[in-house]
Amino acid sequence: MKLLKRKILLSTTKYAPVFGVAASTFWNFAVKYATLTYDSLRFGEIEDFPETSDPVWILGKQFSALTEKDDILADVTSRLWFTYRKNFQPIGGTGPTSDTGWGCMLRCGQMILGEALICRHLGRDWKWSPGQRQRPEYVSILNAFIDKKDSYYSIHQIAQMGVGEGKSIGQWYGPNTVAQVLKKLAVFDSWSRLAVHVAMDNTVVIEEIKRLCMPWLDFDRGACAVSEEPREMNGDLEGACALAEEETALWKPLVLLIPLRLGLSDINEAYIEPLKQCFMMPQSLGVIGGKPNSAHYFIGFVGDELIYLDPHTTQPAVDPSEDGHFPDDSYHCQHPPCRMHICELDPSIAAGFFCQTEDDFDDWCAQIRKVSNCRGLPMFELVDSQPSHLITADVLNLTPDFSDSDRLERFFDSEDEEFEILSL
Cβ distance 305 to 272 under 8 Å?
Answer: no
Task: Please report, for residues 33, 277, 315, the alpha-carbon distance to residue 154 in angstroms, rounded to integers and kept in the order given.
Answer: 25, 31, 15
Cβ distance 144 to 320 under 8 Å?
Answer: no
Give, in degrees to the nearest 5, the angle at Cα 391 between 387 and 395: 140
Catalytic residue among 312, 338, 346, 413: 312
108 is catalytic: no
Catalytic residue among 310, 346, 360, 413: 310
Cβ distance 27 to 170 under 8 Å?
Answer: yes
Catalytic residue among 104, 213, 278, 355: 104
Type of residue found at 354: F
CB atoms within 10 A of CB 320: 16
**Could you give phi then psi for residue 267, rounded to 5 degrees?**
-70, 135
The β-bridge relationship of strands 381-383 and 203-205 is parallel
312 is catalytic: yes
Give the DSSP H/E element, type plus range, for residue 195: strand 195-198
What's 155's DSSP letter?
A: H
Q: Which residues of 249-262 are buried (b: 16+ CB within 10 A; e: fewer)?
A: ebbbbbbbbbbbbb
104 is catalytic: yes
Give strand pairing partners of 63.
56
- CA gap 146, 315 in Å, rounded: 13
Catalytic residues: 104, 310, 312
